[in-house]
Amino acid sequence: MDTKAEIEKLREELRRYGKAYYDLDAPIISDFEYDALMRRLIELEEQYPEFRAPDSPTQKIGGKVSPQFSSVRHAVPLESLNDVFSFEELDGFINRTDETLGSPAVYCTEPKIDGLSVAVEYLNGKMFRGATRGDGVTGEDVTENLRTVRSLPKELKNAPPRLIVRGEVYMSRDTFAELNAEREINGEKLFANPRNAAAGSLRQLDSKITASRKLDIIIFNIQLADGRDFATHAETLDALKEMGFPVVPYKVCRSSAECRAQIEWLGENRDTLPYDIDGAVIKINSLTDRTVLGSTAKAPRWAAAYKYPPEKKETVVQDIIVQVGRTGVLTPKAVVAPVRLAGTTVTNATLHNQDNIDRLDIRIGDTVLVQKAGEIIPEILEVKRDKRPEGTVPFRIPDICPACGAHVTRDEDEAATRCTNVECPAQRLRTITHFASRDAMDIEGLGVSVADSLINKGLISSPADLYYLEAQSVASIDRMGKKSAENLINAIEKSKENGMARLLCAFGIRQVGQKAAKVLAMHYTNLDELINASVEDLKNIPDIGPITASYLVEWLSDPHSRHQIELLRQAGVSFESKETRLDDRFAGKTFVFTGALTSFTRDEAEALVESFGGKSTGSVSKKTSYVVAGEDAGSKLIKAQNLGVPVLTEEEFKKMIAPNE
């Protein structure tokens, strides 16, 4: 590959990876891999300046402003940082700055928190506005979401008339673990790491969701302070602390050796911090010296970020165990001899799935190379075959579930092996909370904590057991009094009449969510008719493909599922369909609803569309037939107008659903 082609390829890759990281909060590669690609591109552009381009990723700060948010132009640009990857490069940075200044400089060394960078503005001591970094010049207005961040002060002590600070919004490790555990129970996609969880949480359109994520912030810079003069960066941090901000810890360093010692100390003690760090930041302390050094188009010349390389160490696989997750997926894990990595002692490493085990040929007794590069769970990179002891054998994930003894399956279209037993104890909490969730049986008051308490008390072990509970027994669990217990029993009793569609959704059958359940309930009058249907029968139903049909037949014919169905029948749960197909006037049409509707709820409107043979979705595309726009319609309306999709008012939609004469 010639140089120009390599540069173009690197730019294309970095744009794609940057979009996933900054805009979608869903990284494709690790930070270290991204930094290595960026570094290679910088080297090539410096070596071949004729190939430089103003739109290169090396010339831009990563993110862009989402159309879902109002934009905010930063009063002071939020610059990025130049990275260094070794102490030799750090010495080079310090030598260059000292040479430019004409004398040795004093530095501040701080942890580089791995979160989402924001600017927060205060007027007369009161929080006025907050924005994401965006492209460094323009960010997203996330003021209401930032108001939910518990550690960000809303009023300040002795603040200047106008103050803009820069900080990092983060999610603590404990909060991250709790959030992912809850998402696993609810069958939602897990966040890759605390940084992406924080970024995704701060950029929610509903501030109530942001508030539930328990975000924190740490402030590391004054961007603007009207009427205040400071001589050093350390002074600004001390002043911010006095105003009431949580401030980044710092150490004043007077030489390269002191900077290095502090960086090493931070690396060794990173596990004691409440937040993840991916490096250390070295800044010139004197604000006058910063003015002399200035900035490039992207980054200041007075600061650098030392990025910790991913540590790799050898250890021995002592055992391989298989755990059953709350969604039924069997996950192999290597138990390894304790080894110190990235500030923590590692005793386990993920093996992901059977394909990964086969690819690496990992066996019990093998010496392996493990890495922890910012991810929560370490992984095995390679096996040292020359150190393999005699007598080892290839490892296979068992054919039966280690939690319940039921047979496991593996689909051709994915690498996961899973237990499909609805009564599997490892899946118990997730199965029951999903069954009771809003889109399923909608049992008010039966959340994760109550379900967990009922399970631990031995009162339930499956969804069907809910219908055999007694108020007196329920009242005995923690934080559940007599009245609350009666309310829960009443909610459970009420759910018996929800009908076939909600019950089907509650079963948690793969690819059978709320919409598919409604489609099935429109074609079958009761659950027993569906049970007797074949794959051929099902796959001929619109929106029910052959894969979904196979999952349905497999689940409904499983002995454990049949046992649950019979218990539900005996408890008096309705198997009858309540869905009615009025006519086919919307057949082949897709609707999207946006904004506030006044005559019915969003769910009611979508149900009406389905009752006339149509479909409703949450996103607008060229295939959308109509967008129904209520009051305060947002980005979906704009997208529909840009794509030329017909837009209806609520009154126009009501005319379309009026009875035919």
By the 8 A CB rule, do 320 and 332 touch?
A: yes
Residues 6 or more apart in contact with residue 264 via CB below 8 angstroms: none
Secondary structure letter of residue 155 according to DSSP: B
By the 8 A CB rule, do 577 and 523 touch?
A: no
- Distance CA(601)–CA(578), nearest Å, equals 18
- Distance CA(539)–CA(552), nearest Å, equals 10
Secondary structure letter of residue 272 according to DSSP: G
Among 8, 16, 88, smallest CA distance to 41 is for 8
Burial (0-12, 13-18, 19+ Cβ within 10 Å), 237:
buried
Q: How many other C-beta atoms are found inside a 10 Å radius of the C-beta of residue 384?
A: 12
Q: How far is CA 633 from the centre of its chain?
A: 26
By the 8 A CB rule, do 85 and 307 touch?
A: yes
Tell me, yes or no, if 112 is annotated catalytic.
yes
What secondary structure, in 3-state letters, does 411-446 show?
CCCCCCEEECCCCCHHHHHHHHHHHHCCCCCCCCCC
- What's the Rg (C-alpha) of the chain? 29
Give the three-class secondary structure for 337: strand
Q: Which of 60, 112, 214, 615 is catalytic?
A: 112
With the CA atoms of 37, 42, 47 and 52 taken in that order, what torsion angle do they form, in degrees rounded to the nearest 10? 110
SS3 content of the chain, % helix, strand, coil (to 5): 40, 20, 40
Alpha helices in 102-225 (DSSP H): 143-146, 173-185, 194-202, 207-212
Provide the CB-side half-sphere exposure for 265 (13 A, CA).
Answer: 11
Q: Which residue has the tokens 């489609």?
A: 519
Residues 6 or more apart in contact with residue 369 via CB below 8 angstroms: 312, 313, 314, 380, 381, 382, 383, 384
Give the H/E segment covering residue 636: helix 635-643
Give the H/E segment covering residue 101: helix 87-101
- Distance CA(599)–CA(651), nearest Å, equals 9
Bridge partner residues of 332 (DSSP): 322
Cα distances (angstroms) measured from residue 390 to each of 314, 385, 387, 393: 19, 11, 10, 9
Strands 590-594 and 626-629: parallel
Question: Which residues are annotated as catalytic?
Answer: 112
